[in-house]
Structure formats: C-alpha cells, structure tokens
Chain A
Amino acid sequence: MSWLSKFVKPKIHALVKKIEVPNNLWVKCLGCEQMVYNKDLKETYSVCPTCGFHLRLSSTDRMDWILDEGTHREIEISDVVFDPLKFKDKKKYSDRIKEAKSKSNQNDAIFLRSGTIGGQKAVVAVMDFEFMGGSMGSAVGEGIITAAEKAIDINSALVIFTSSGGARMQEGIFSLMQLPRTIIAVNKLKDENIPYIVVLTDPTTGGVTASFAMLGDVTFAEPGALIGFAGPRVIQSTVRETLPEGFQTAEYIYEHGMVDEVVPRSKLKLKIANVIRHLSNNNVGNSARA
C-alpha cells in the first residue's frame, strides 16, 4: 500500500459519512409526508409528533421500550433445522438467511426477553419485519414455543408483538407446519392459566394470523396497521372489485370485531400492564381450576 492510498482512503470514508449523516437526521412521515426530526421520533417511539402516524418500530427499539429499564433478560431460542428443502429461487435460501442475519444482527425474525412491563412480570416476543419480511419458518415457530414454555416456567404473562408478511415460503411445508406448532404453544398457556396478550403491529398477514396471532386472551392493534389473512393484491385479483376504504387496517378489523382495542403506542404499555394485573390477580376459583 502506497503512502498515498493510506492517506486518501480515510478521507473518502469521512466524506461518505458526512453525506450519510444528514439523511439520517430526518425521516419522511408516511402519514403527513412532512419531514420529522429523527431525534424526536426516538422520544415518541416512532410516532409522528405532527399527525400521530405510527411508523414501524425496529424490533430492538420496541423491546427496549416495552420492558421496564433494568429488567431485561435474554431468552435463547434453540437452533432449528436449517434450510430443510435446500431451497433456491433466484438466490439460495441459505444465502438470503446469511444476508438477513448480518444485516439485522438477529438470528431470525423473532427475539425474546423477559422482564416487567409497568411492574408486571412478562415474557415478550417481538417479531422483526426487517428480517425476511417477518416470515414464519421453523425458527419463528420455535421462538413462540420457547416463549410460551418460559412464560409457564416463570409463571408470567406472555406478550407477543406480531409483524409478518406470512409464511417463510423457502421452508415449504415446514413453514406451514408452524401453524399447528405455535397453536400447541398457545394451548399450553391456556392449560396453565397464563395470560396471553397479542399486539398486532404493521403489517401482520398470512400464516401468523391464521395461528397464534388470532388466539390471544386479549388482542390489541396499533393504529393504521395492515392486518389480514390474504394480501390485498390477492383479494383484489380474486374478487375484481374495489376494496373498501381502510380495508384490513387495524381500525377496520376492530369495527368487524377482530380485536379488543386499537391502542396508540403511547398508551400501550400502561394498557398491557393493566390487563396482566387483572388476569393474574388471585381471581375467584383460579387456584381451584389450575
């Protein structure tokens, strides 16, 4: 390496960095289309201060926010069968996974912690839409099972934040088999009277909704979130008519009786804590039933 390149290279890096920083300072709100100061968004947990639009929250930010400070404990998820089909489309699935892993620093589209929410004991599972569209394969299934087992083990509530485009197609039938697997996990919670709260966040569609996501004891949804079984485009091409205004939004499915309440992020923590408290009180006959 010549003295020149040694000298020039860091300079170029510095230049690139300089360009990147201003871009990260501002984010365009998808609700009001105004530029929002990124630092402000950190404080509101990605809710637009101007219009109240709920931007997507990264899984790590969400976890940091939901559990009370200083109570976080990691929960490990066991490895699962990797690439059971040796699947390949335009790219190898094994390469896609590697990419997603290095990009996100996550093992798959879900991660778990235990701690407290507003003082109430909880195991929390957060799905990560950034990781291959939050798609559910064996790893996500294992995550849900592990979360349920842990909740039973330490006798605390289970709170799951869903965010998923559907099944992990690259795992073929094994992704479909995660529906019964995760439902078995939910059934176990019911057997042990463990409160199970689902928060549907943007977007939650496909196989996740046809399994654990729609079986909560209490179900909340974030404002504006897209929630449904079939994707809007698939429905459009089947029925060949215009979809109703606001179709498959949190508010829309609330009107149709699918969730208990649409709750803005600012109130979610309190509401979850309140529900856990009510459901885990020594309620009448609970001990007799257990």
Chain B
Amino acid sequence: MQFLNFEKHIADLEGKVKELTGLDLVGEKSENNDNEISKLKEKIGGLIKKTYEKLSPWQITLVARHPERPHFIDYLDILVSDFQILSGDRSFSEDRAVIAGIGTFHSRSVMIIGQEKGFDTDSRLKHNFGMVKPEGFRKIARLLKLADKFGLPIITFVDTAGAYPGIGAEERGQAEAIAQCIKTSLEVKVPFISVIIGEGGSGGALALATSDKVLMLQNSIYSVISPEGCASILWRDNDKAEEAAESLGLTANFLKNKGVIDTIIAEPTGGAHRDHHSTIRNVYDAILQELNELINISPDDLLLKRQEKFLRYGRI
C-alpha cells in the first residue's frame, strides 16, 4: 500500500512487521517474533486510529486523492447488477472519464453515472484521469433526460479533479456543456442522489451533484478550486496549498455544518483505501436510506424542493 507523507510513523512500523514476517518465511520462526509482530500490529492500529481521528483539511485532501481508494468501477461492480452501459453524446464522441448506464440497485432499476479516474497508466489515459470533456457532460445530460423519461432514480458518483482544461474541450464548448448538465439536473423529476467518493473538483463535480441529496465520504473533498490552484492565485505561491485547504472549507464536516451537503458517510479507520469492502457497504446503506425517503415524494415536489435548496445558498 502507498503511504501518505503524514503516515511515515505508520509506514516505519509496517516495515518492521514485514521484516519480521520475512524472517518467519526463511525459517527463523520463533515465538519471540510472533509476539513482537502482534505487539507491533496493535501499535499500528492505535497509531492509525489516532492519526485519522484528527486529519487536517490538507491531509484529508491527500486521502481523498489516494490512488488505492475505491473508485467508481469498484462501487459499480458490487452495488449494481444487470448493468447495461450507455455511451456517447450522439454528436461527437464517447468520453470514458464518465461511465454510465442502467442497472439494478437493491431490486430497483436506476440510472447510475460516475467519474472514473483509472488505476494504472493505461486506464488513467483511457479515462483521462476522470477529467470530463464536453462530450462527457453532454452524455450525462442526455442520460439524465432518459432517466427522467422512464422514471429511473439517478445515482451519481463524483470523483474528479475538475473538468478537462484543453484546447478541444474549449472549442467544443466546455462551459456550455457544464451549464446544460446543471440545467438538466434542475429539470428532472426523479429522485437524484450524488455521492462524492474522492475528489469533488469545481464545475466538473457540480455537473454531477446538483441533486436532491448530496452524500460525502468522510475523507472526500468538495471545493470550488483545488488548494493548489487557490494557493497559486490568492497567495501567488504554490507551496501554500496547505493553508489554502484550511481556508477553503472543503471537508465533509465543514460542508455539512454549512448545509451544503446532506450526509457524511463514515469511512473505516485509516481511510477508505484500507478497507474497500466496509466503505462500499457504508455507501450502499447511505444511498438506500436516502432513496427510500425520496421515492415517496411526488415528482413535482421533488423538483421544487431541489430548486429551493439550491436557491438558498448565500441567502440570509
């Protein structure tokens, strides 16, 4: 596993455990070693717990971006059955930064859409690191309308550094594509739930999160700009990302307090990347609970409430 820079003390102990386990393997097995290993493991557990109890906003940013965190495809795999992928914007191309389709979630047909960053060099290139282009946003808008037409609840998974900043993306109307995506989100009359599972980067994230209920994993982030971007603009110093993260209020706790998100989903001790299974389980429970509430609301009320919720932000 990849350790983050604030986990050095944990990494050191894990290294020792590995060393001792290695001795075991070459035949120098001894009761002393076993004792030592279990003691160390206990210590590691304590350290992880202590470290993760009070992560700073910057540390949370690093956890949110951890490459071994469960990705959208991991959730899709476990939470959705009978999946049929739906692709393309019908006018230019397919954008694999977004994966979308219809499938069964807890015995109910749903539209499921998520950003996928990829997990190795090949897949990262294929998915463009989860940075969506105009055609991806147009695919999303198309499928939101499809869901609305057939009364399918919408579940979205957000994990992106932001919309792709490229020449072609600008030429094909990146801004307009995002605007249309948000606009469509504010028109559909079906239950709409978003889960921020890692990075919620600006407009690229919002295009999938203008929904009835916005859920956030405990160590995910949601922000108008990356701490690095903010530091370079406001501090004119890239090294001030840590301070910027502090100022921006991008953590689940902060956003929940401000009423911008609805629910925080707990992560296992040490972060989602240490235990995919429990993380996905928690996400499943949280979605199910929200969905069960939303399906009882009439389509017109659903839309009205969604609009009222978003109109509120900034009002006294």
Contacts and interface: CB of A to CB of B under 8 A. Distances in A.
Q: Do A and B come from one complex?
A: yes
Contacts of A180: 182, 185-186, 206, 210, 310
Interface in B140-188: 163-167, 169-176, 178-180, 182-183, 185-187
Contact of A229 (B163, B223, B249, B307): B163
Nearest to B229: A234
Contact of B170 (A80, A142, A214, A230): A230
Given A90-B234, A141-B314, A229-B163, A176 B174 contact: no
Contacts of B202: 167, 176, 207
Given A90-B235, A141-B314, A174-B314, A179 B203 contact: yes
B183 A183 contact: yes
Interface residues of A, number: 59
Contacts of A231: 165
Interface in B245-268: 247-250, 255, 258, 260
Contacts of A177: 260, 310, 313-314
Interface residues of B, number: 50
Contacts of B26: none
Given A169-B234, A186-B183, A214-B179, A229 B314 contact: no
A257 B177 CA distance: 13
Interface string B257-294: 01010000000000000000000000000000000000
B51 to A, nearest CB: 26
B175 A169 contact: no
A214 B185 CA distance: 16
A84 interface: yes
B255 A173 contact: yes
Contacts of A239: 165-167
Contacts of B255: 173
B225 interface: yes
B186 A183 contact: yes
Contact of A211 (B167, B179, B223, B229): B179
Nearest to A258: B173
Contact of A176 (B173, B176, B180, B224): B224
Nearest to B162: A230
B97 interface: no
Contact of A173 (B165, B179, B249): B249
A123 to B, nearest CB: 19
B250 A173 contact: yes
B315 A80 contact: yes
A59 interface: no
Contacts of B171: 256
A90 B231 CA distance: 10
B151 to A, nearest CB: 21
A78 B314 CA distance: 11
Given A167-B224, A173-B250, A186-B183, A181 B258 contact: no
Contacts of B172: 256
A191 B60 CA distance: 42
A24 B235 CA distance: 32
Interface string A217-257: 00000000000111100110011010110011000010011
B225 A84 contact: no
B182 to A, nearest CB: 5
17 contacts: A78-B315, A79-B316, A81-B314, A81-B316, A89-B247, A90-B235, A169-B233, A174-B258, A175-B224, A176-B206, A177-B314, A179-B203, A179-B206, A238-B166, A244-B167, A253-B170, A258-B173
